[in-house]
Amino acid sequence: MKKIMDKLINNVRFDKRYVFFCLILVILGIITGAFFIVILNSTDKSLVIEYIKSFIESLKVNKFDYFGTLKNTLIINYSIIIIISILGFTYFLAPFNILILFYKSFIIGFSLSSFVLTYKLKGMILSIIYIFPHLIINILLISLITAFTLKLSINMIKNIIKKRDVNMRQYFDKYLYIIIFFIVLISVSSVYESLVVPFLLKNIIKILI
């Protein structure tokens, strides 16, 4: 593991400017998602409450599909990493990664407000368990890979404009290290999200609800 980390650090550099931009985008996305529920009409709010209660009820009566959820979570998270990587490597499509990052941040904020809408103060406790630390880790990983792809795409465009030779092998090697490393981390967080979080929520629900 240490050799992998050393290789990653030596081959991949995250520009602080791009990372800062992505983190600001994450904060804006979470805030937007959290307040979006305020503008929903009563019908949509009822649907949100019904969905959250259905989710909680499935945990209470032991009908939650842990391994089915794990399968779907892995597919979604792997797909996001792969899509971001492909868009980033095509350089002119890399800005679309900003939309993906904002959307994922929006979902976190919306999830927080959905629990609060449904269970008030108790919902705040449930929402913290629901998103921490796995969804925070996921969004940080997506932020880093988005920052990396933005810098990579801009550098490639500059090289093309200035008619410099582009070492595609160098870019590919960097991509390989970062993607493998992120896939390992997101796999761990997906297991936690699908197997550990529902278990924790189930036990907390017995106390709170």
pLDDT at 179: 81
Amino acid letter, 42: S
Q: Which residue has the tokens 């493998």?
A: 180
Average pLDDT in the chain: 84
- Name the residue type at position 185: L
Using the predicted structure, report yes or no on whether residue 22 has a pLDDT greater than 70: yes
Check if the beta carbon of residue 149 is closer than 8 Å to that of residue 85.
Answer: yes
Query: Tell me, what's the pLDDT at 166?
Result: 60
pLDDT of residue 61: 86
Tell whether the model's pLDDT for residue 184 goes beyond 90: no
With beta carbons less than 8 A apart as the criterion, state whether 118 and 48 touch.
Answer: yes
- What pLDDT is stored for residue 81 in this prediction? 87
Identity of the highest mean pLDDT range in 90-104, 106-120, 195-209: 106-120
115 CB contacts (<8 Å, ≥6 apart)? 52, 123, 124, 126, 127, 130
* Mean pLDDT of all residues in 148-168: 73
| Mean pLDDT in residue range 81-94 | 80
Question: 169 or 203, which is more confident?
Answer: 203
Q: What pLDDT is recorded for position 14?
A: 63
Q: What 3 state SS string does 75-90 have?
A: HHHHHHHHHHHHHHHC
Q: What is the pTM of this model?
A: 0.85
Can you give the C-alpha Rg of the chain in angstroms?
Answer: 19
Cα-Cα end-to-end distance for the chain = 42
Per-residue confidence (pLDDT) for residue 5, from 0 to 100: 47
pLDDT grade for 1, boundaries at 50, 70 and 90? very low
Long-range contacts of 137-140 (CB under 8 A, 24+ apart): 137/185, 137/186, 137/189, 138/77, 138/104, 138/186, 138/189, 138/193, 139/26, 139/101, 139/104, 139/105, 139/108
pLDDT grade for 170, boundaries at 50, 70 and 90: low
Closest CA relative to residue 106, chosen from 193, 19, 31 = 31
pLDDT in tens, 121-141: 888 899 989 888 888 888 988
The whole-number average pLDDT for the span 142-154 is: 84
